[in-house]
Structure 1
């Protein structure tokens, strides 16, 4: 079997590389809007499945495409990627001093049509941050490609995240433990790295 990663995220690429699963990257532009009635994990799963559907017609029988979408939820508000630095500062101002949830939805779609969609949740606790800390992070690290306007692996993760309940890798953008379990169900030991 051949794994196709349908993501431009350097973090997802690094996590799969570290897992030792060979993959190739294949990208397509996909609309990332979602129905307004969906909430929390439903949004992440919907977007992952929606992205995978764009690859359905092009998959060979032995290929498996992996799509994922990470969202940050503060209460019931979904904080996706900020449009600009001002919105990033607003998001981080809302998150500071509070706990929020990170959901990553994943879809694995085989060329034979078999599909599995799942999500993982991590609760993230932020300490209170000053306006200057928030502005420093946004202007130096430009987190416009990150849900909730932050990356846990960045400077702000080191200074703001006080506690996690769940998978750290899920916050980075891929619940690797769950992905591995599902890949094994789809392809058995075929995914084990060659020594």
Structure 2
């Protein structure tokens, strides 16, 4: 059974590739801002992951399509992707020495049967106290910061040292692909890692 990821994200593709399961990937084209968008962060990521998976599933007759969406939460507020270096600097100053949550919605569809599964996975990251110099170095080295839900890349650059401790899925935090949950969901959908 083939696997299709409903994403254009190189980070998500790289993370899923670690499983050693063959897959293809395609962007969904789903707009993340829409009328009736849920205010509850967990509901929001589940709705968007479902929309993305359904959009890609329409292009296929078989296989399992997996959609994702992620948001960051800090002190109860959703962290939108930062739009400027100044906004990112202030964001990272706020997160310094504190914790934030990263929530990913995963929606899986078996295209031929129509069966689906959804799950929201939460990871809590605890930042050490950051120096202004570190924040400035990160901002100057990573032109892609605006692609990350919280605003920093936890895998590369100096920012990979920002979180001193996490609770939950490491893979969720670094890539928005909670591999542990995904493997369990694949088994529940009838997918097997081997042909025997």
TM over 0.5: yes
Q: 1:130 deviation in Å?
A: 2.2
In structure 2, the CA distance between the partners of 1:157 and 1:167, relative to structure 1 (3 Å rule), is farther
Residue 177 (structure 2) aligns with: 174
Q: 1:66 deviation in Å?
A: 0.9
- The total of aligned residue pairs comes to 192
Question: Do 1:98 and 1:127's aligned partners in 2 also have CA atoms closer than 8 Å?
Answer: yes
Cα deviation per residue 1:1-53 (whole Å; 9 max; x = unaligned)?
11111112222212221101110112232101264652232222121112123
Equivalent-residue separation in structure 2 for 1:167 and 1:79 (angstroms): 19
Higher helix share: 1
What are the residue-to-residue correspondences of 1:112-151 with 2, within 5 Å? 112-142=113-143, 143-151=145-153
Question: Do 1:92 and 1:148's aligned partners in 2 also have CA atoms closer than 8 Å?
Answer: no
Residue 95 (structure 1) aligns with: 95
Q: 1:156 deviation in Å?
A: 3.8
Secondary structure of 1:151's counterpart equals: coil
1:76 aligns with 2:76: yes
Return the TM-score normalized by structure 1. 0.89
Equivalent-residue separation in structure 1 for 2:141 and 2:97 (angstroms): 21
Equivalent-residue separation in structure 1 for 2:194 and 2:80 (angstroms): 34
The range that moved more, 139-148 or 31-40, is: 31-40
Gaps of 5+ in 2: none
What are the residue-to-residue correspondences of 1:17-166 with 2, within 5 Å? 17-33=17-33, 35=36, 37-60=38-61, 62-111=62-111, 112-142=113-143, 143-166=145-168
Question: Do 2:154 and 2:161's aligned partners in 1 also have CA atoms closer than 8 Å?
Answer: no
Equivalent-residue separation in structure 2 for 1:42 and 1:75 (angstroms): 18
Question: Do 1:69 and 1:106's aligned partners in 2 also have CA atoms closer than 8 Å?
Answer: yes
| Misfit runs of 4+, over 3 Å | 34-37
Equivalent-residue separation in structure 2 for 1:8 and 1:85 (angstroms): 24
Secondary structure of 1:88's counterpart equals: helix
